[in-house]
Amino acid sequence: MNDAHLDPARKHDFVFLIEAVDSNPNGDPDNGGIPRTDPITGQGLITDVAIKRKIRNTIALINSIENKPGYEIYVEAGTALNAQHERAYADTATDKQSAQAWMCTTFFDVRMFGAVMSTGKRDKRAGRVQGPVQIGFARSIDPVTPFDIGITRVTPTKQEDVDAWNNSQDGEDGKRKGKETEMGSKHVVPYGLYKGTGHFSAPLATKTGVTSDDLAAFWRAFTLMFEHDRAAARTGLALRGLYVFTHDDAFGRAPAHTLFERVAVKPRGDASARSFTDYGTIDVQDTGLPPGLTLTTLISAAPTLG
């Protein structure tokens, strides 16, 4: 196979770089949606769940047009997980083992990421699948500076607020009843460059039935995941680098952490960066790889210096 990174019989370790410009790469719902940070170092964080959500959404978007069997999404908004398990039994499954096989065949994210499918009716469960793809948190190279930007909407939500404003006069306190506008906010970081890592286990891929087409779909979705996920606070997210280290066997020829160190970004030591070029040249050591390793660059982080 010429494209080594598409071979499900080999171990793959990958590094990616995500850029955030005046955007919120991953808000914390327990903290008012503010971009996640390490409270000690001030570095920004993007969770694995956020990244996998974008990959799932991209796969679903592509498959809504291409409509290929086996590329449905298990963890999907608006669909109860137990209902997905029951579909397996309504089709061909007769026990937990056959239901699990059906789930792996039907759902891309079960096949790739795994799933805990032990909920629902006792006779309609599909057990637990350990997925071959695992993605870690992405951490910014330097500290980031999250801040809150106040915004004003020219109309309130409720009609009664509009009517009260239009039909009232200033009271003794100088204020009118009702509302003319409503305030809101956006949480962003002015700039952050995040580095993340991931792994693909060939032995686990054999158990879930991953194919080379699945890997091709995964890398395609990874490279496109920000292109069709734009929102008011996510217009400046971009994948700036994606590097895949492929071993020549299923179990690997070198520890993953030694490979990840081959993609290095020199920290600035503060939160002053405001563009990708502020980091200069990204150091990618693609020569002198350990025996049995190849490096495939899917997205190249090579800024043009002015």
pLDDT at 149: 83
pLDDT at 167: 80
pLDDT at 65: 97
pLDDT at 261: 97
Cα-based distances in Å from 241 to 17, 193, 259, 292, 303: 5, 11, 15, 23, 11
pLDDT at 159: 80
Exposure class string for 44-55: b at 16+ Cβ within 10 A, else e = bbbbeebbbbbb
pLDDT at 166: 80
User: What is the chain's alpha carbon radius of gyration, rounded to the nearest angstrom?
Assistant: 24
* Residues with pLDDT less than 70, the chain: 1-2, 153-154, 165, 169-174, 176, 178-183, 302-306
This prediction has a pTM of 0.90
pLDDT at 303: 47
pLDDT at 1: 45
